[in-house]
Amino acid sequence: MEKMIDGVKVKQLKVIPDERGRLMEILRNDDEIFEKFGQVYLTTVYSGVIKAWHMHKYQNDNIAVVRGMIKLVICDLREGSKTYGMINEFFIGEHNSLLVHVPANVYHGFKGISKEEALVINIPTNTYNRKKSDETRLPFNTDKISYNWERKNH
């Protein structure tokens, strides 16, 4: 695997199927990757849609996909970071069950890459403050991040 952005962590998720269905633990409070609990929410993305870029000043995100597939992209623009300017890509979802930990102040976004709508679970370390958000957003095609969201056919 390529070098990781400082503070990014990945947990391989185990799916346990039986004749009734399946179970997949996403994040436990005894996991090495666990810090604290803020909330859990579901967001979705349609095929080919890009939801990017954003970062949080104070919260870390823990992202998993329970249906479909996404391309999660993370970019480190933290001044003074030893991985400044680095970009990591993760293909996560039904065919690659991962939990990706995105640290505060690191830009991230994702693109739906499955035919069906992807269901994305985020377990941030803080509760979202609707009145005073710690979120900063950039357009998906910003000049500040050198990333091409198009599919790479190589």
**The domain spanning residue 73 has which CATH number?**
2.60.120.10
- All residues at 6 or more sequence positions from 140 whose CB lies less than 8 Å from its CB, including other chains: 50, 51, 52, 53, 109, 149
Report the residue count for the chain. Answer: 154
Q: What is the mean pLDDT of residues 59-87?
A: 97
Q: How far is CA 55 from CA 60, 76, 134, in A?
A: 9, 10, 8
| Domain count for the chain | 1
Residue 86 lies in a domain: yes
Q: Residue 109: inside a domain, yes or no?
A: yes
In a domain, 140, yes or no: no
CB of 53 closer than 8 Å to CB of 109: yes
Identify whether 150 is part of a domain: no
Give the pLDDT score at 104: 97
- Please report whether residue 2 resides in a domain: no
pLDDT tens figures, 107-146: 999 999 999 999 999 999 999 999 999 999 999 999 999 9
Q: Which two tokens stand for residue 146?
A: 């050198």
Does residue 71 lie in a domain region?
A: yes
Structural domain including 118 reads 9-128
Dist CA 88 CA 56 (whole Å): 17
Confidence label for 1 from pLDDT (cuts 50, 70 and 90): low
